[in-house]
Amino acid sequence: MRYFKLAIPLFLILVVFMGCPKKQVIEPVEEIPYEEVEIPELPEEPEKPDFVLERIFFDFDKSDIKADAAESLRKNAAMLELYSDVRVNIEGHCCEIGTAEYNLALGERRTKAARDYLLMLGTAPDRLTTVSYGEEKPLDPTNLERNRRCEFMVK
């Protein structure tokens, strides 16, 4: 009880000396002028170029991929990468020189060369099929060189 009698006066002394804290005066801050900023709308998806696959041409009695054909195949592979849902049928064609059987086989070798090149560039194999028409569907009956080609047709 003795401590209790001492505690009350000490408490009162502390309250008197400490008192209530003084109120702080807060001065208003200068207003910052409001400027409207125009936020451009972002496109939902970048626009894709039109879907175009280039045909490639071959030399007489050859199925080798030439430099210009390799460039066209790189463009075709890039297009197929952009349009990942597209499937393509590669059609092999020949000029009318040679037998029908020989030209069918040559057209098949040409489609295989084009398909293998696209596979090497990363195109999925299940997106590519091949067919040889030999000399049956000439692009230009008066120009034999234009008929030695592969066409890329969307399925």
**φ and ψ of 82, to 5 deg:** -65, -40
Q: What is the mean pLDDT of residues 106-114?
A: 98
Question: C-alpha distances in angstroms, 32 versus 24, 26, 27, 28, 38?
Answer: 24, 18, 15, 12, 18
Dist CA 114 CA 120 (whole Å)? 10
pLDDT at 124: 97
Residue 133's pLDDT is: 97
Burial group, residue 42, by CB count within 10 angstroms (0-12, 13-18, 19+): exposed
Average pLDDT rounded to a whole number, residues 83-110: 96
Higher pLDDT, 36 or 107: 107
Query: 24 falls in which pLDDT band (50, 70, 90)?
Result: low
pLDDT at residue 112 greater than cutoff 80: yes
DSSP string, 100-150: HHHHHHHHHHHHHHHHHHHHHTT--GGGEEEEEEETSS-S-TT-GGGGSEE
- Asked whether the predicted pLDDT for residue 17 surpasses 70, the reply is no
| Residue 101 pLDDT > 70 | yes
- Residue ranges of the domains in the chain? 56-154
- Global pTM? 0.70
Phi and psi at 75, nearest 5°, equal -65, -40
Mean pLDDT of 94-102: 95
Residue % of the chain over a pLDDT of 90: 66
Q: What architecture (CATH level 2) is domain 56-154?
A: 2-Layer Sandwich (3.30)
